[in-house]
Structure 1
Amino acid sequence: MEKCLSSTIKLLLVDDHSIIRAGYQQILQKDPSVRVIAEAESSFCAVAIYARVQPDVVVMDLSIPQKKDTDEVSSTCGIETIRKIIQHDENAKILVLTALSGDPYPSQALSAGALGYLTKHCAPSELIEAVRSVYAGQRYLSAAIKAELNTGEESTNSLTRLSQRELEVFSMLAESHPIAKIADVMCLSPKTVHAHRANILRKLELKNNADIVRLAVRQGLIET
């Protein structure tokens, strides 16, 4: 059911770091028309809290854990959270605010149902502008994300060749996690992880893990 626009924009903040949520809240509530009504630090909490408080806009990171007490975070979990919220409310208005700037993350988030996508390098004024646009039902993309999505360069879009599972393995390899840990986190056998790694190297025409890290850095998926 579509909500009527009101004078106050009620927000749900989703990020696994409380200090970051506090910073966002301080920025957003400088605008008197914006009010943060709830916070969540995991996918599970975000979906449950959305259903309970029915916010006007969700501002969320992609790299979040599945549950509160889980140390491992995953962009795949963030994408799945968007899908679950949209399944609950097809008119949900979601603004992604994340450090992940390289495709395929923006295109995956938008395909899952997000209306806006910003990186954490954005100015405070742009965050407020994006919230207002998404609240009005308008798509909002930062200039960098627009350029990322519009480019036709093969290198930019190379990760779209990977399956969802391969992309998750790629992300963990890029963060230098050993095969054994990846297998444990993803509930896979080491043999299966090795097979995913081999497919990743083949599809992306890479030679080793160092190439994976370099590609991830070039596409803004990790910071050096």
Structure 2
Amino acid sequence: MTDPIKILLVDDHPLVRAGFQRLLISDDSIEIVGEADNGQSACDMYATHAPDVVVMDLNMPNDSSASDEACHNLNGGLEAIRRIISHDTKAKVLVLTAMEIDPFPAHVVNAGAKGFLTKRCAPDELLAAVKAIHNGEEYITEEMRTRINGDGSTEAASISSLTKRELQVFALLAEGRTVSQVAEEIFLSPKTVHAHRTNIFRKLTISNNSELVHLAIRHGIVQA
């Protein structure tokens, strides 16, 4: 008998996790070996359980101390993907998220994920994606490939031009953190964060934090 596909399920909402768990284990070839509700826990559980595929949301906190909903952003998911792949370059991550607008698909692929699905996908598509990724394939729909290749709005393209670090700083500033708070959280000097902020403003053609926040809300990077 073929061994079941071992899944690590990562989502900060227990009810959502429970729903996807029921769907996944309805297939006898799939086994849930762990569940996590934040980026740090996902990395720890990956090291412990060595799953075949990680099914992960993007919009979640980096760690369990960030319980405030305002701290939930794509940094939690993206950072977890990067850390897992840094730990195991052969890791297979399928992103399953409601955050389907640009620039998320491109950043997910750049972070090293093997697949990208939205939470409105059909149940059969999720199962097919898990099996395809387990078999060493990528699973990215044509619609998402189009977005990744840059066929989007000028505003979204500008966000996509941000580096990983700039996107991280952008999200934290949009949550209302000061430059000093951002510097402390991501272990940079305030001078370096100021430099990133200047580059972000230039790339996004904005001039103040209010515009930055409105742009972040429009594109689902932070919640209103």
Partner SS, residue 118 of structure 1: strand
* Deviation (angstroms), 1:39: 0.5
CA separation of 1:68 and 1:213: change in aligned 2, threshold 3 A = closer
Amino acid at match of 1:133: A
Deviation at 1:87, TM superposition (A): 2.4
Q: CA deviation at 1:190?
A: 8.3
Shift of 1:60: 0.7
Which residue is equivalent to 1:45?
41
Match of 2:205 in 1: 205
Q: Which residue of 2 aligns with 1:141?
A: 140
- Establish whether residue 104 from structure 1 lines up as the match of residue 100 from structure 2: no
Partner SS for 1:158: helix
Distance in 2 between residues matched to 1:46 and 1:205, nearest whole Å: 36
Is the Cα contact below 8 Å between 2:53 and 2:94 reproduced in 1? yes
Summarize the alignment of residues 149-160 of structure 1 with structure 2, pairs less than 5 Å apart: 149-153=148-152, 154-160=154-160
| 1:1-224 equivalences in 2 (<5 Å) | 6-71=2-67, 72-153=71-152, 154-174=154-174, 177=176, 179=178, 196-209=196-209, 211-216=211-216, 219-221=219-221
How many residues are matched? Answer: 219
Q: Counterpart of 2:90 in 1: which secondary structure?
A: coil
Deviation, structure 1 residue 217:
5.2
Gaps of 5+ in 1: none
Shift of the 150–45 alpha-carbon distance from structure 1 to 2, 3 Å rule, reads same
Question: How far apart are 1:120 and its partner, in Å?
Answer: 2.0
Q: Which moved more, 1:8-17 or 1:143-152?
A: 143-152
Residue range with higher mean Cα deviation, 210-219 or 75-84: 210-219
Letter in 2 for 1:167: L
Q: Deviations over 1:153-199 (max 9, x none)?
A: 44332113323343234324555x36487677667798876765454
CA distance in 2, matches of 1:46, 1:149: 25
**What is the CA-CA distance between 1:25 and the residue it aligns to?**
0.4
**Are residues 15 and 120 of structure 1, via their aligned partners in 2, closer, same or farther at CA, if it must alter by over 3 Å?**
same
Cα distance in 1 between the residues matched to 2:114 and 2:31 = 19
Helix, strand or coil at the partner of 2:99 = coil
Residue 156 of structure 1 aligns to a residue in which SS? helix
TM-score between both structures, scaled by the size of structure 1: 0.79
CA RMSD after TM alignment: 3.0
Distance in 1, matches of 2:62 and 2:205, equals: 31
Tell me if structure 1 keeps the 8 A contact 2:4–2:29: yes
Residue 210 and residue 127 in structure 1: after superposition, are their counterparts in 2 closer, same or farther (change >3 A)?
A: farther
TM-score normalised over the length of structure 2: 0.79
Per the alignment, do residues 6 and 56 of structure 1 end up closer, same or farther by CA in structure 2, a change over 3 Å counting? farther
Shift, 1:131, TM fit: 0.9
How far apart, CA to CA, are the structure 1 residues paired with 2:10 and 2:128?
Answer: 18
